Amino acid sequence: MEKQNMTKKKLYEIARKHNIPGRSKMSKKELISAIEDIETVNLTEKSVAGGDKGTSAAITNFPSDGINPEPEITLPEKYNVDTLVLLPINPANAFAFWEVTATTLAKYTGERDLSKCKLVLSFFISGENNSQMERIAFSPVYDIGNYYLNDSRINDSILWAELDAFYNDGKRINILTSAKIKMPSDKISTDTDTEFMQINENSEKLLEYSIAGEKIIGSGEFIHRKMKMFSSYNTAKGAQ
Partner 1 sequence: MTGYWMLVLHSHLPFIKHPEYEYFLEEHWLYEAISECYLPLLMQLETLQKENINVKLTVSLTPTLCEMLSDNMLKERYEKYLQKMITLSKKEIDRTKAEPEFNKTAEFYLERFTTLLNYFRTNLDRNILAGYNKFQEKGILEIITCAATHGFLPFMAHFSKGVKAQIEIAVNNYQKHFNQKPAGIWLPECAYYQGLETILSEYGIKYFFTDTHGILYSKPRPKYGVYAPVYTKTGTAAFARDFHSSKQVWSSKEGYPGDFNYRDFYRDIGYDLDMEYIKPYISPDGARVFTGIKYYKITGKSDHKEPYVRGNAINKVSEHARHFVSERSKQIQELAPLMDRAPLICSPYDAELFGHWWFEGPEFLANTFRYMNNDNTIEPVTPSEYLKKYRTNQVVNVNPSSWGDKGYYEVWLNGGNDWIYRHLDYAVKKISDLARKYNETSDSDKKRILNQMARELLLAQSSDWAFLITTGTATEYALKRTKEHLHNFLRLEQMLNTGVDERFLAKCETKNSIFQEISYTSFL
Name which of residues 202 to 231 contact partner 1 (CB under 8 A). 202-203, 205-207, 209-212, 216-231
| Residue nearer to partner 1 on the CB measure, 113 or 150 | 150
Quick check: 1 binds partner 1 (CB under 8 A)? Answer: no
Contacting partner 1 (CB under 8 A), which of 24, 25, 50, 129? 50
Other CB atoms closer than 10 Å to residue 98's CB: what's the count? 23
Contacting partner 1 (CB under 8 A), which of 28, 95, 101, 104? 95
Least Å distance, CB 135 to partner 1, is 20
C-alpha dihedral, 28 to 32 to 34 to 39, nearest 10°? 160
Quick check: 126 binds partner 1 (CB under 8 A)? Answer: no
Quick check: 112 binds partner 1 (CB under 8 A)? Answer: no
Residues numbered 138-157 forming contacts with partner 1, rule: CB under 8 A: 146
Quick check: 90 binds partner 1 (CB under 8 A)? Answer: yes
For residue 73, what are the contacts with CB-CB under 8 A and spacing of at least 6?
none
User: Does residue 129 sit in helix, strand or coil?
Assistant: helix
Least Å distance, CB 95 to partner 1, is 6
Cα angle 166, 169, 172 (rounded to 5 degrees) comes to 30
Alpha helices in the chain (DSSP H): 8-17, 28-47, 57-60, 102-109, 201-211, 221-229, 236-239
| Residue nearer to partner 1 on the CB measure, 94 or 117 | 94
Quick check: 131 binds partner 1 (CB under 8 A)? Answer: no
Least Å distance, CB 80 to partner 1, is 10
Quick check: 62 binds partner 1 (CB under 8 A)? Answer: yes
| Residue nearer to partner 1 on the CB measure, 59 or 167 | 59
Contacting partner 1 (CB under 8 A), which of 4, 5, 24, 64? 64
Do the Cβ atoms of 171 and 109 come closer than 8 Å? Answer: no
Residue by residue, DSSP assigns 87-114 as EEEETTEEEEEEE--HHHHHHHHSTT-T
Pairing of strands 172-177, 158-167: antiparallel
